[in-house]
Amino acid sequence: MKSSLSRRGFAKVLSAGAAYAALNPSFAMSAPALRLVSSSPTLVRLNSNENPYGPSPMAVKAMTDAFSLAWRYPDEHEGMLVDALAKLNGVSSDQILLGSGSSEILKVAAAALTGPGKKLLVGHPTFEAILAYAAVAGAEIVKTNLTSDYAHDLPKMLAEKNAGLIYICNPNNPTASITPKAELRAFLAKVPPQTIVLVDEAYHHYVDSNDYESVIPLIAQYPNLMVARTFSKIYSMAGLRCGYCVARPELIQRLRAQQAWDSVNIMALVAAIASLQDAGQVEQGHRRNTEVKNFVYSELDKSGYKYIPSHANFMMIDLRREVRPVIDAMSGRNVQVGRVFPAMPNFMRVTVGTRPQMEAFVSAFHAVMS
């Protein structure tokens, strides 16, 4: 099983750390700083859309090998990852900007592209980080409710004037829903050239739908389009912080101007490079997620609970009652689920964990809801 491999891999990292400490006493003296925040073995974490299977064993090995490079600035490795991502996405290297997680991409986009007189337009509800970043930039934020299918209401968003940036989260967090590709194409053809469209494809690898496509290939056609991706989800590197965006070189330069130099650390870089070389990581992550999601669907179907069909590694379940007390009761049973989303007060967002985690979830859910 990949999870046990990952644990073994992690143990190897720790023992490599111990070996390094034996050779380097000053490292050993700082060992208490290494104490890890390990969650209780009985705690089931389904609140942050993390990928519980862990990084590729190749990424773990690359990080182990890179310990001794920690004294170096990361720029050489940055170039290697940029080149690999350019190749993967069929663009040139000056069309890639790395970030310390895709969160940093969202932050620099808000800083560069919104501000007084340059609104941020978002769906509602959606992933909220960029709202906070645009608020700091002094931008007005306009929220447009999702449609009844939980897609972005693109015609309504298009009607709004003076947008600096339009944020489309596809698949969307917290609803795990998609905005259909035909609608997105029609929308991109109509957005004024001075407005930038940021499509956040953090959950891209989990989608199973003919109605969805990545818009990265459309960047060749639209200079005002950028796409954010992350290594936190299918690559299971949330704690390492690595993301990137694809855009035209002129836009990349505007974004880069807002960024700290060398913002992606060397461990994240080598792990990301290695992950891209692990052919099985995406396929296996997708398959496991789908299998476990189907198990949860069938349990919910049996007990008559509806849910929004999920195109991600999490799902929204309609509780038909207020979610707040249910979140607390689940927590009392050692199962952490997503927070309250005020726009959807009767829905519970649950990350799709491993099969044993979801069995624990189902049993706690039945107990709490009965």
Among 6, 51, 230, 236, binds ligand PLP (CB under 6 A): 230
Nearer of residues 13 and 238 to ligand PLP, judged by Cβ: 238
**Torsion angles phi and psi, residue 34, rounded to 5:** -85, -5
Cα torsion angle, 159, 165, 171, 177, sign? negative
Q: Site residues for ligand PLP, window 108-147 (CB under 6 A)?
A: 127
Cβ 52 to ligand PLP shortest distance, Å: 14
Nearer of residues 238 and 369 to ligand PLP, judged by Cβ: 238
Interaction mask 275-314, ligand PLP, x per CB under 6 A: ----------------------------------------
Interaction mask 45-64, ligand PLP, x per CB under 6 A: ----x---------------
Nearer of residues 103 and 259 to ligand PLP, judged by Cβ: 103
The region of 25-33, 79-87, 98-106, 293-301 touching ligand PLP under the rule CB under 6 A is 98-106
Binding residue count for ligand PLP, defined by CB under 6 A: 13
The region of 30-38, 151-159, 230-238, 260-268 touching ligand PLP under the rule CB under 6 A is 230-238
Integer angstrom CA distances of residue 97 from 15, 94, 259, 260, 268: 34, 8, 10, 12, 15
Instruction: Say whether the peptide bond before residue 342 is cis (omega within 30 degrees of 0).
Output: no
Q: Supply the DSSP symbol for 36.
A: -
Pairwise CA distance, residues 268 & 274, whole Å: 10
Query: Is residue 232 a contact point for ligand PLP (CB under 6 A)?
Result: yes
First-to-last alpha carbon distance for the chain, in angstroms, is 34
Nearer of residues 52 and 368 to ligand PLP, judged by Cβ: 52
Q: What b/e readout covers 207-219, taking b as 16+ CB neighbours within 10 angstroms?
A: beeeebbbbbebb
Among 21, 28, 238, 369, binds ligand PLP (CB under 6 A): 238
The region of 96-104, 248-256, 340-348, 351-359 touching ligand PLP under the rule CB under 6 A is 96-104
Query: Is residue 243 a contact point for ligand PLP (CB under 6 A)?
Result: yes
* Residue with token string 């609140």: 47
Query: Vertex 183, ends 180 and 186: CA angle to 5°?
Result: 150
Cβ 68 to ligand PLP shortest distance, Å: 27
* Burial classification of residue 181, based on how many CB atoms lie within 10 Å of its CB (0-12 exposed, 13-18 middle, 19 or more buried): middle
Query: Vertex 158, ends 309 and 340: CA angle to 5°?
Result: 40
Integer angstrom CA distances of residue 132 from 16, 162, 170, 258, 361: 39, 19, 19, 16, 31
Cβ 233 to ligand PLP shortest distance, Å: 7
**Site residues, ligand PLP (CB under 6 A):** 49, 101-103, 127, 169, 173, 200, 202, 230, 232, 238, 243
